[in-house]
Amino acid sequence: MKKEIISTDKAPAAIGPYSQAVKLGNLIFTSGQIPINPATGEVVTGGIEAQTKQVLENIGAVLSAAGTDFSQVVKATVFIKDMNDFAAINKIYGEYFTSPCPARSCVEVARLPKDVGVEIEIIAVLPE
């Protein structure tokens, strides 16, 4: 199988030696997305809810560029700076993922890029 790099200007550009996503066969692997507005290059303001929404909008743009969407996500990994934000993050997350929901891990971490409160990466499949 040949891997294909997925890229879109509707999500923040990679700022290091990585790609927004990689397609391998019918699988899509995204890099972690943080709450950067792709139009401005700045971290969004407005608290953890606004940050989570921007992260998921960025993921949606990458999924769309790959030819898939949230309904095809099989695994999500959520990194959060403060586990006390879990309920707020989970509420926004639930607006993007409906039953049957993907598998998910959630990990509290010491620090995230640009000191944001949340980062999410996913694995999705292409629709049949």
What secondary structure, in 3-state letters, does 49-70 show? HHHHHHHHHHHHHHHHHHCCCH
* Selected catalytic residue, list 106, 112, 123, 125: 106
Please give the domain boundaries of the chain with CATH numbers for all domains.
3-125 (3.30.1330.40)
Q: How high is the pLDDT of residue 32?
A: 97
In the numeric block, which tokens belong to residue 128?
Answer: 């049949």
For residue range 88-125, list pLDDT tens digits in order.
Answer: 999 999 999 989 999 999 999 999 999 999 999 999 99
For residue range 82-97, list pLDDT tens digits in order.
Answer: 999 999 999 999 999 9
Model confidence band, residue 4 (pLDDT cutoffs 50, 70, 90): very high
Q: How high is the pLDDT of residue 98?
A: 87
Q: Is the pLDDT of residue 15 over 90?
A: no
Q: Is the pLDDT of residue 42 over 90?
A: yes
Tell me if residue 106 is catalytic: yes
Residues 86-108 as b or e (16 or more Cβ within 10 Å = b) = eebbeebbeebbeeeeeeeebee
* Mean pLDDT value of segment 54-79: 98
Where are any strands of DSSP class E within 1-128?
3-6, 21-24, 27-30, 73-80, 103-108, 118-125
